[in-house]
Protein backbone atom coordinates (compact mmCIF):
# COMPACT_ATOMS: atom_id res chain seq x y z
CA UNK A 1 0.00 0.00 0.00
CA UNK A 2 1.23 3.51 -0.78
CA UNK A 3 2.07 5.99 1.96
CA UNK A 4 -0.80 8.21 0.80
CA UNK A 5 -3.29 5.35 1.08
CA UNK A 6 -2.00 4.54 4.57
CA UNK A 7 -2.54 8.18 5.59
CA UNK A 8 -6.09 8.09 4.25
CA UNK A 9 -6.88 4.88 6.12
CA UNK A 10 -5.15 6.15 9.27
CA UNK A 11 -7.09 9.42 9.45
CA UNK A 12 -10.34 7.70 8.56
CA UNK A 13 -9.74 5.28 11.44
CA UNK A 14 -9.39 8.18 13.88
CA UNK A 15 -12.49 9.86 12.47
CA UNK A 16 -14.59 6.70 12.56
CA UNK A 17 -13.78 5.92 16.19
CA UNK A 18 -14.63 9.52 17.14
CA UNK A 19 -17.90 9.29 15.18
CA UNK A 20 -18.76 5.91 16.72
CA UNK A 21 -18.24 6.93 20.37
CA UNK A 22 -21.18 9.08 21.58
CA UNK A 23 -18.99 10.71 24.24
CA UNK A 24 -16.85 12.33 21.53
CA UNK A 25 -17.64 15.65 19.89
CA UNK A 26 -18.59 15.82 16.20
CA UNK A 27 -15.90 15.37 13.55
CA UNK A 28 -15.65 18.71 11.72
CA UNK A 29 -12.89 17.95 9.25
CA UNK A 30 -10.66 15.10 8.04
CA UNK A 31 -7.56 16.00 6.04
CA UNK A 32 -4.58 14.23 4.52
CA UNK A 33 -2.91 17.54 3.67
CA UNK A 34 0.22 18.07 5.81
CA UNK A 35 -0.07 20.58 8.65
CA UNK A 36 3.03 21.32 10.72
CA UNK A 37 4.65 17.99 11.63
CA UNK A 38 1.42 16.09 10.98
CA UNK A 39 0.87 14.40 7.60
CA UNK A 40 -2.88 14.49 8.20
CA UNK A 41 -5.37 15.31 10.94
CA UNK A 42 -8.91 14.82 12.20
CA UNK A 43 -10.50 17.93 13.70
CA UNK A 44 -13.32 17.65 16.21
CA UNK A 45 -15.58 20.32 17.69
CA UNK A 46 -13.85 22.11 20.57
CA UNK A 47 -10.37 21.01 21.64
CA UNK A 48 -8.60 17.78 20.76
CA UNK A 49 -9.53 16.35 24.15
CA UNK A 50 -12.36 16.97 26.60
CA UNK A 51 -11.96 20.02 28.82
CA UNK A 52 -13.63 18.36 31.82
CA UNK A 53 -12.35 14.81 31.99
CA UNK A 54 -13.80 11.69 33.57
CA UNK A 55 -12.32 8.22 33.30
CA UNK A 56 -14.93 7.44 30.59
CA UNK A 57 -14.12 10.49 28.43
CA UNK A 58 -10.38 9.90 28.76
CA UNK A 59 -10.93 6.29 27.74
CA UNK A 60 -12.83 7.31 24.60
CA UNK A 61 -9.99 9.74 23.79
CA UNK A 62 -7.71 6.70 23.90
CA UNK A 63 -10.02 4.71 21.60
CA UNK A 64 -9.91 7.58 19.08
CA UNK A 65 -6.12 7.92 19.31
CA UNK A 66 -5.72 4.21 18.57
CA UNK A 67 -8.28 4.25 15.73
CA UNK A 68 -5.65 5.13 13.15
CA UNK A 69 -3.39 2.29 14.22
CA UNK A 70 -6.33 -0.15 14.28
CA UNK A 71 -7.39 0.88 10.77
CA UNK A 72 -3.85 0.44 9.44
CA UNK A 73 -3.54 -3.02 11.01
CA UNK A 74 -6.95 -4.24 9.85
CA UNK A 75 -7.13 -2.65 6.38
CA UNK A 76 -3.48 -2.25 5.36
CA UNK A 77 -1.78 -5.07 7.25
CA UNK A 78 1.09 -3.14 8.82
CA UNK A 79 1.50 -0.10 11.04
CA UNK A 80 3.28 3.19 10.28
CA UNK A 81 5.39 5.39 12.56
CA UNK A 82 2.46 7.84 12.76
CA UNK A 83 0.56 5.14 14.62
CA UNK A 84 3.47 4.83 17.08
CA UNK A 85 3.12 8.54 17.95
CA UNK A 86 -0.58 7.96 18.69
CA UNK A 87 0.33 5.01 20.92
CA UNK A 88 2.74 7.21 22.90
CA UNK A 89 -0.02 9.80 23.44
CA UNK A 90 -2.40 7.06 24.49
CA UNK A 91 0.11 5.62 26.96
CA UNK A 92 0.63 9.10 28.38
CA UNK A 93 -3.12 9.52 28.98
CA UNK A 94 -3.31 6.10 30.65
CA UNK A 95 -0.35 6.82 32.96
CA UNK A 96 -1.73 10.23 33.91
CA UNK A 97 -5.04 8.58 34.81
CA UNK A 98 -3.09 6.41 37.21
CA UNK A 99 -0.43 8.72 38.64
CA UNK A 100 -1.85 12.24 38.33
CA UNK A 101 -5.60 11.85 38.64
CA UNK A 102 -5.81 9.04 41.22
CA UNK A 103 -8.30 6.99 39.20
CA UNK A 104 -7.00 3.53 40.09
CA UNK A 105 -7.78 1.90 43.43
CA UNK A 106 -4.71 -0.28 42.93
CA UNK A 107 -2.34 2.67 42.39
CA UNK A 108 -4.16 4.66 45.10
CA UNK A 109 -5.65 8.12 45.53
CA UNK A 110 -2.31 9.96 45.56
CA UNK A 111 -1.80 12.52 42.80
CA UNK A 112 1.62 13.09 41.25
CA UNK A 113 2.67 16.03 39.09
CA UNK A 114 1.46 15.22 35.53
CA UNK A 115 4.78 16.39 34.05
CA UNK A 116 6.67 13.87 36.17
CA UNK A 117 4.95 10.99 34.36
CA UNK A 118 6.93 12.04 31.26
CA UNK A 119 10.25 12.11 33.11
CA UNK A 120 12.97 9.51 33.49
CA UNK A 121 13.07 7.41 36.67
CA UNK A 122 15.75 9.63 38.25
CA UNK A 123 13.43 12.66 38.22
CA UNK A 124 10.18 11.18 39.53
CA UNK A 125 8.88 11.37 43.09
CA UNK A 126 7.04 8.11 43.50
CA UNK A 127 8.24 4.60 44.31
CA UNK A 128 9.07 1.87 41.83
CA UNK A 129 6.20 -0.20 43.20
CA UNK A 130 3.78 2.66 42.48
CA UNK A 131 5.19 2.96 38.98
CA UNK A 132 4.82 -0.78 38.45
CA UNK A 133 1.21 -0.83 39.72
CA UNK A 134 0.33 2.12 37.51
CA UNK A 135 1.94 0.54 34.44
CA UNK A 136 0.03 -2.71 34.93
CA UNK A 137 -3.32 -0.94 35.11
CA UNK A 138 -2.39 1.48 32.30
CA UNK A 139 -1.52 -1.48 30.07
CA UNK A 140 -4.96 -2.98 30.71
CA UNK A 141 -6.54 0.35 29.75
CA UNK A 142 -4.53 0.68 26.52
CA UNK A 143 -5.15 -2.96 25.58
CA UNK A 144 -8.92 -2.56 26.10
CA UNK A 145 -9.02 0.74 24.19
CA UNK A 146 -7.19 -0.90 21.28
CA UNK A 147 -9.49 -3.92 21.38
CA UNK A 148 -12.49 -1.61 21.03
CA UNK A 149 -10.80 0.39 18.24
CA UNK A 150 -10.05 -2.79 16.29
CA UNK A 151 -13.56 -4.12 16.86
CA UNK A 152 -15.09 -0.87 15.54
CA UNK A 153 -12.84 -0.91 12.47
CA UNK A 154 -13.29 -4.63 11.77
CA UNK A 155 -17.08 -4.41 11.96
CA UNK A 156 -17.20 -1.30 9.74
CA UNK A 157 -14.60 -1.87 7.03
CA UNK A 158 -16.98 -0.80 4.25
CA UNK A 159 -17.76 2.53 5.94
CA UNK A 160 -14.06 3.24 6.42
CA UNK A 161 -13.14 2.28 2.85
CA UNK A 162 -15.98 4.43 1.46
CA UNK A 163 -14.84 7.55 3.29
CA UNK A 164 -11.15 6.85 2.62
CA UNK A 165 -11.91 6.60 -1.13
CA UNK A 166 -13.61 9.99 -1.11
CA UNK A 167 -10.75 11.40 0.99
CA UNK A 168 -8.39 10.18 -1.74
CA UNK A 169 -10.34 12.22 -4.31
CA UNK A 170 -10.77 15.42 -2.28
CA UNK A 171 -7.90 15.38 0.32
CA UNK A 172 -10.23 17.07 2.83
CA UNK A 173 -13.73 16.18 3.99
CA UNK A 174 -16.08 18.20 6.21
CA UNK A 175 -18.79 17.34 8.75
CA UNK A 176 -21.46 17.26 6.04
CA UNK A 177 -19.46 14.67 4.08
CA UNK A 178 -19.19 12.49 7.18
CA UNK A 179 -22.95 12.69 7.77
CA UNK A 180 -23.69 11.91 4.12
CA UNK A 181 -21.40 8.87 4.03
CA UNK A 182 -21.93 7.46 7.54
CA UNK A 183 -25.37 8.74 8.54
CA UNK A 184 -26.52 9.33 12.09
CA UNK A 185 -24.08 8.72 14.91
CA UNK A 186 -24.57 5.70 17.23
CA UNK A 187 -26.15 6.22 20.66
CA UNK A 188 -24.15 3.44 22.33
CA UNK A 189 -22.03 2.64 24.27
CA UNK A 190 -23.58 4.80 26.97
CA UNK A 191 -21.26 6.56 29.41
CA UNK A 192 -22.48 4.44 32.36
CA UNK A 193 -21.66 1.26 30.44
CA UNK A 194 -18.12 2.54 29.84
CA UNK A 195 -17.77 3.69 33.44
CA UNK A 196 -18.79 0.25 34.72
CA UNK A 197 -16.26 -1.42 32.40
CA UNK A 198 -13.52 0.94 33.57
CA UNK A 199 -14.41 0.38 37.21
CA UNK A 200 -13.38 -3.26 36.72
CA UNK A 201 -10.25 -2.38 34.69
CA UNK A 202 -9.10 0.22 37.24
CA UNK A 203 -9.67 -2.03 40.26
Q: Which has the closest alpha carbon to 169: 3, 10, 5? A: 5
Catalytic choice (11, 166, 172, 193)? 11
DSSP lists the bridge partners of residue 2 as none
Angle, alpha carbons 135-138-144 (nearest 5°) = 140
| Active site annotation includes 51 | no
For the chain, count helices (H), then strands (E): 8, 3
Three-state SS at 38: strand
CA atoms within 13 A on the CB side of 45: 7
| Active site amino acids | 11
Amino acid sequence: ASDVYKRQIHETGHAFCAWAMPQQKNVLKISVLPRGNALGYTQRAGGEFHEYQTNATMFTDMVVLLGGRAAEEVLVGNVSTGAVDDLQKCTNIAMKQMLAFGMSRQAGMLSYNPQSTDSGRSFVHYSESTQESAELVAKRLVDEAYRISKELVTQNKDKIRTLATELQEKSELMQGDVQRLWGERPKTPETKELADKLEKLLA
